[in-house]
A and B are shown apart, each in its own frame.
Chain A
Amino acid sequence: MGFFNDFKTNLQGQYEECLAYKKLCENEGFNPYRDLKCEDDLYYVPFILSTSFKKSYGLFTKLLRGDIKDIYKWTISSSTSGDPSIVGRSKEDIDTLRRFVLEDEMRHKIDRDYECTFFPKAEDMKSYNRGIFLDKVCESYLGNIVDIYTYRDDTIHLLKLNNNKFEVDVQSFINYIQTHNGKNHRAALGGSTPLFFGTVIRLKENIKPVELGDKSFVHTGGGGWDGRKGNINIGTFIERWRFVEEVSNFLGIPQENFTDTYSFTENSFTMTGHYSKNYRDYLFHVPEYARVIVRDIKTLKPVKEGERGFIQVLNAYGTKSFAGASVLVDDIGEVVSYHRCPECGYEGMVIKIIGRVKGTEAKGCGATLGGDGVGNN
């Protein structure tokens, strides 16, 4: 039927089945039966803020479209803030996520004969902090994504679970890069950005750079560009260009062989970007089975090309069990082009991911009754 009609059907279903979303629509005077007639109307679709799924808000069950018994599993964010998002997903939603992650992977896949990754084995990631929550399994969203990725049988997982703590196997990484040094093998590297970056920065002080060659490539994912992911904190913000330049120089892999994948727990697809030397950033291709709207922080209207704002994602698929059809996430994006990738010619919207909205609670002589910090003034 095409994205628009499928999205409309999905949104109407969410409106009928999720009272919370219906209330938000009513509050904004929006009715998807009446007000969603053409693509331009997508700009007026009310959104759920990703923070509304936060555990502390206690609203995630209200953001389901059906009964809890129909949930297959809860997926949770990595909880850098200590307050994870919790999204209930049906078996069908997990299958759709799987389909889109594989599709995204296939589009950007480069053949490899060797591979090492700064992710643990998917099962370790999923089982980490796995629990039963409201009678359903609760697992890491990222773990579920990693579980979908197609790894080689002999892929080296550098992140290992030891006494319920993840540790980087640095020696295996050193062995891997030295084994393939100067051989121009089809060697893949990837995984968690802060761990990858932190390891390279430490190693470059002690060992010589290597030359893995132009058949090697780096594919990161899972965010963490602010230097933090879950309980990992390398103590520094990582500029994307700096990551690429440092790692490229140290490993001898061309910058154009770097890709990164973006997603968030309340979303139903992943989106991969390739690095552009020209833009000194990753250019993310919005797939045809989804829409992204970047909204101005003041007017909340869609921004023009070259401008930044909040990222809203429209999902036509994969949100049958939760109110994820229209989600505004607290990430900042920049529209590179609404039509075409300036580097590779991909036909579709292209964005840059600038990063998570940062800030602190208002401070002044007005009190915040939740407390403030002596170290924060």
Chain B
Amino acid sequence: MLEIIKRDYNDCIVDVPVYDISDIQLVMEKLKRNKINAHQIDTKYTIDLLDACAKMWLDREYSKIHVENIAKITNQSKELVLFELEGVMKGLLKENVNLLINEELGNIDILDNWVETYYGMVHRQPRGLVFHNVSGNAFIVIPVSIAMGLISKNVNLVKVSKDEPYFAYAFYKSLVELDESIKDRLSIIYFDSSLADIYDYIVSNSDCVIHWGGKQSRDYMANLCSKYSIHFIEHGPKVSFEVVDKEPSIEDIKGIALDMSLWEQKACLSPRIIFLNAKINKEEFLEELKNALEETLNYLPKGYYDYFSSIKTLQDRQYMILKNMENDNFKIISSKTSDYTIVYSNDFPNNREIDMCFSRFIYVCPYESKDQVIEYIQKNLKGYLQTMGYCGDDLDFIEKATLCGVSIVTMPGSMSFHKAGTSHDGIYNLSELTYVVSLQKD
């Protein structure tokens, strides 16, 4: 029997339906029955639906209450949530989705029709039933994962996280407002993730699993998929960083401040470290970064709904000061409050220190040679790398960084704005959510 529990997220009370295995069996049976129907829906129809939904969310009257709730749940300010939400929704507009399909699949028709090619014809088929396992609370992944699942003509079961169970339901409801039949190809569920038998049931009855989130849950899902030979698409966890190789402009530095403010650094694409060419005047850079962070706070303030993240910043900051009190090559520049923290250190951060880099808390480390950066990321971050914000002109360095596992390089200030059709953790999701079929004619 479906149980509704009330959860309190910083005074935002959310009704969370908790599914048991029998509820999930019913949901999955329904989705399975609709696989063929989902396959027959024109791609254009889904693109128009997502476009209309994104436009609803871009209407600030419509999104207002959701922004207020998400702010409390994620402990981000309303201004920041609105900025992030609008960025995500713009990605679902028709023009961007068309670009995405063309870039990822090479042909807008390939999902609907057999497309002629030199050997005959080629087509993309959906995997079938896709289980989206979302952990953590960077809500960017919800509309991205759902949109990809729908565009690729799959039926989709989305498991939300305990940290942020709200947005997926809200987004789902807005889709239902536009098209009731979306229920036939999309369901949102929550269950306690310690219930291994439910995971086992879901994965063994799915055709594909797409996972977003932490390492242990990723490993757990990977093992289950391996056990049942289910196609596994893995996203996260990741660490991103910036490299300032040439003299940065004020705009570059403002961009870095924006990169480290968005998502309060909880997203995979958020920078945790800035590697700074030692030839660049560090004092000037740190001063400009401080100014840029303070300026960013004026339009994207921090949310202070939650006691923990505020005191955590103070604790981590004090730990760093005390640990390095006899280190002349160490400096902390910070607000008096928990607003922002810049740690300047000749020593590159260890794992514990990288884990401190959330909520506008960043390491700035000088390098004499770019090989030091390559050596560090290779040794410490291999398998975790994603976005590199790069202020420089050295293509050889980009080549080396991407060989280590960096999957996307952007300008400072664009780390959170991956354009349609760019690499996502080294893969294309639409490509992974479908499989290529060929018809050889001769």
Contacts and interface: CB of A to CB of B under 8 A. Distances in A.
Interface of A: 19-20, 23-24, 27-28, 48-49, 51-52, 57, 59, 62-63, 297-300, 310, 328, 330, 332, 357-377
A377 B312 contact: no
A377 B214 contact: yes
Given A20-B325, A62-B325, A363-B137, A368 B214 contact: yes
Given A49-B311, A375-B194, 8 more contacts: A51-B315, A51-B319, A57-B319, A358-B308, A359-B307, A367-B239, A368-B214, A372-B215
Q: Which 6 pairs between the two chains have the least Cβ-Cβ distance? A: A359-B308, A367-B237, A377-B135, A364-B266, A364-B138, A372-B214
Contacts of B272: 366
B22 interface: no
Nearest to B357: A366
A363 B312 CA distance: 14
Interface residues of B, number: 61
Contact of A369 (B137, B235, B312, B355): B355
B193 A370 contact: no
Contacts of A367: 214-215, 236-239, 268, 384
Given A59-B322, A368-B237, A374-B193, A363 B214 contact: yes
Contacts of B307: 297, 310, 332, 357-359
B107 interface: no
B141 A19 contact: no
Nearest to A309: B307
Contacts of A51: 315, 318-319
A360 B162 CA distance: 12
B309 interface: yes
Contacts of A359: 306-309, 312
A366 B357 CA distance: 10
B441 interface: no
B206 interface: no
A373 B216 contact: yes
A364 B137 contact: yes
Contacts of B315: 49, 51-52, 330
Contacts of B355: 361, 368-370
Interface in B286-314: 302, 304, 306-312, 314
B384 A297 contact: no
B321 interface: yes
Contact of A365 (B136, B220, B264, B352): B136
Given A52-B322, A300-B337, A375-B194, A330 B220 contact: no
B202 interface: no
15 contacts: A57-B319, A59-B323, A332-B307, A358-B307, A359-B306, A362-B359, A365-B140, A365-B237, A365-B266, A365-B267, A366-B267, A366-B358, A368-B214, A368-B237, A372-B214
Nearest to A24: B321
Interface string B253-287: 00000000001111110101000000000000000
Given A363-B135, A367-B236, A367-B239, A23 B141 contact: no
A363 B215 contact: no
A63 B141 CA distance: 44
Interface string B85-103: 0000000000000000000
B354 interface: yes
A366 B161 contact: no
A370 B351 contact: yes
B318 A48 contact: yes
Interface centre among A48, A310, A365, A375 (most CB of B within 10 A): A365
B162 A377 contact: yes
A328 B319 CA distance: 14
Given A364-B268, A366-B237, A52 B214 contact: no
B215 A365 contact: no
Given A365-B267, A367-B215, A298 B310 contact: yes
B56 interface: no
A62 B323 CA distance: 9
A368 B267 CA distance: 11
Interface in B121-167: 135-138, 140-141, 161-163
Contacts of A48: 318
B379 interface: no
A374 B237 contact: no
A236 to B, nearest CB: 15
Contacts of A364: 136-138, 213, 263, 266-268
Given A310-B307, A367-B384, A377-B217, A19 B325 contact: yes
Contact of B337 (A23, A27, A299, A375): A299
Nearest to A368: B355
B322 A377 contact: no
A42 B116 CA distance: 79
A362 B264 contact: yes
Nearest to A373: B216
Contacts of A372: 135, 213-217, 237
